[in-house]
């Protein structure tokens, strides 16, 4: 194995003194991924009622259907079925969260998903407020929050998702295995 030059990161100071501290603006690029705990969510807020209007105004309905289950894009309400036979053939029974909002373990991931991935080919088009509103709309349509619940950087991470704990992404899950060099490939099932 090629393990040369393993630099011990951590305690000691910098060796080369190159680079500069980032500005506050640089630390929050608009398309940055947001983690499951929601740290780094930008200011802004939204409700399901506002999201319902945006769902049509921002043409989400053009791909996902008037009520989120007509396709041709993935279904946004309910746990299963995309309306696209290609998805369904490939991922029948899969855990593709895009096939169901209820499949996300952490609510901020829905925010991050919309912010990074939607609308297709126009990523970055939505404002933070709009993404909060659309997130609220999807959570409400799936029976997870109330229509007038206000989502923001503080409340969104506290939304309890029904799928929490079903996938071994986090160390608190019994099947979680930390990566170590040379760990064997794991059996699929």
Among positions 121-160, residues that touch other proteins (CB under 8 A) are 121, 123-124
Selected binder of other proteins within 45, 84, 127, 155 (CB under 8 A)? 84
From 25-33, 53-61, 128-136, 150-158, give the range in contact with other proteins by CB under 8 A: 25-33
Q: Are 73 and 174 in contact (CB under 8 A)?
A: no
Nearest distance from residue 51's CB to other proteins, in Å?
Answer: 19
From 22-30, 54-62, 135-143, 153-161, give the range in contact with other proteins by CB under 8 A: 22-30
Name the residue among 147, 144, 152, 44 with its Cα closest to residue 100: 144
Tell me the backbone φ, ψ of residue 151, rounded to 5 degrees: -100, 135
What CA dihedral angle connects 95, 122, 66 and 77, to 10 degrees?
Answer: 20
* 3-class state of residue 157 by DSSP: helix
Nearest distance from residue 72's CB to other proteins, in Å?
Answer: 9
From 47-55, 87-95, 133-141, 147-155, give the range in contact with other proteins by CB under 8 A: 87-95
> Can you say how many angstroms the Cα of residue 88 is from the centroid of all Cα atoms in its chain?
21
Nearest distance from residue 110's CB to other proteins, in Å?
Answer: 10
Nearest distance from residue 55's CB to other proteins, in Å?
Answer: 18
Q: Are 168 and 175 in contact (CB under 8 A)?
A: yes
Q: Which pair of tokens denotes residue 15? A: 């060796």
174 is a contact residue toward other proteins (CB under 8 A)? no
59 is a contact residue toward other proteins (CB under 8 A)? no
């Amino acid at each position: 194995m090629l393990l040369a030059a393993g630099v011990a990161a951590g305690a000691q100071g910098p060796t080369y003194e190159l680079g500069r501290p980032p500005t506050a603006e640089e630390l929050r690029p608009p398309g940055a991924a947001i983690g499951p705990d929601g740290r780094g969510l930008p200011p802004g807020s939204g409700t399901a009622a506002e999201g319902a209007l945006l769902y049509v105004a921002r043409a989400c309905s053009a791909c996902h259907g008037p009520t989120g289950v007509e396709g041709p894009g993935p279904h946004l309400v309910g746990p299963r079925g995309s309306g696209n036979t290609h998805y369904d053939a490939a991922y029948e029974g899969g855990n593709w969260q895009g096939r169901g909002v209820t499949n996300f373990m952490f609510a901020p991931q829905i925010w991050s998903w919309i912010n990074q991935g939607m609308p297709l080919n126009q990523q970055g088009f939505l404002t933070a407020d709009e993404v909060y509103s659309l997130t609220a709309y999807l959570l409400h349509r799936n029976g997870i929050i109330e229509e007038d619940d206000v989502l923001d950087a503080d409340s969104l991470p506290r939304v309890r998702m029904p799928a929490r704990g079903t996938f071994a992404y986090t160390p608190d899950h019994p099947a979680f295995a930390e990566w170590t060099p040379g760990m064997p490939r794991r059996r699929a099932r």
